[in-house]
Amino acid sequence: MTVVGVRRAAVALALVALGGSMAALAGCGSAANVVSAADVGSAPKVVEQSLKIVNGDQPVYSPAYWTAKAGDIVVLTITSNDDGTAPLLPGSPYATVQGTVDGTELVNGKATTSLPVDQVAHTFTVPALGINLAIPASPTGGTVTVQATIHITKAGVYYWHCNAPCGTDPNGLGGAMASPGMMEGTITVQG
């Protein structure tokens, strides 16, 4: 599904959730692409948020701290050039997508609900919101793009972190994993 398709699906879901009516959601410029004025006024705003995982001496999410508005639908795009894996234990819940609008994430444009545990490089996990995105290793010398649509309805400060053991020390839990602003941060959701 394209970014436009994700946005349209997110807006359609939001309108249904808000009790709005929509005649149809069709191709751009189509007469069937009709949304009433009342729905437009009550529909959540669709916003984009981009994060990068940069792999230097240690992997770092950038930005680690960002804001959103309560009720907005966030199309979150994470790009990574980290070609190393941080395999999860068999059966780990962190290889499974959770908390997105449609239960999936797009990995280089392909919808998925989970990754094999040995292909995970990082996760983007927000425990208080039940959100988990699994980020695969990038191809050597290339990048991987993960995109998901999330809807955060309640204001607050939400802690996120990576649950893949991608840091230093024998267990992979040191260095970046234990450093605020690297593999952990916050989403401040304003009311």
| Helix runs in 43-188, H state only | none
What pLDDT digit, counting tens, does each position of 28-56 carry?
Answer: 333 343 444 444 556 889 999 999 998 88
* Lookup: tokens for 90: 């068999």
Q: Does 169 score more than 80 pLDDT?
A: yes
**How does 110-121 read in b/e, with b if 16+ C-beta sit within 10 Å?**
eeeebbebeebb
Paired strand residues for 62: 52
Delimit the domains of the chain by residue range: 1-43, 44-190
Q: Return the SS3 of 103.
A: coil
Question: Scanning the structure block, which residue is given the tokens 């069709």?
Answer: 26
Average pLDDT over residues 4-21: 43
pLDDT category of residue 3 using cuts at 50, 70 and 90: very low
Average pLDDT over residues 128-133: 97
pLDDT category of residue 14 using cuts at 50, 70 and 90: very low
User: What pLDDT score does 137 carry?
Assistant: 95
pLDDT category of residue 102 using cuts at 50, 70 and 90: very high
CA-based nearest residue to 182, from 52, 57, 51, 64: 64
* Amino acid at the residue 151: H
User: What pLDDT score does 57 carry?
Assistant: 85
* Lookup: tokens for 67: 């804001």
Q: Does 6 score more than 50 pLDDT?
A: no
The neighbour count for residue 99, using CB atoms within 10 Å, is 17
Q: Does 85 score more than 90 pLDDT?
A: yes
* Amino acid at the residue 75: V
Q: Does 173 score more than 50 pLDDT?
A: yes
Average pLDDT over residues 24-29: 35
pLDDT category of residue 170 using cuts at 50, 70 and 90: confident
* Lookup: tokens for 70: 């309560």
Secondary structure (DSSP) of 60-75: EEESSEEEEETT-EEE
The CATH number that domain 44-190 falls under is 2.60.40.420
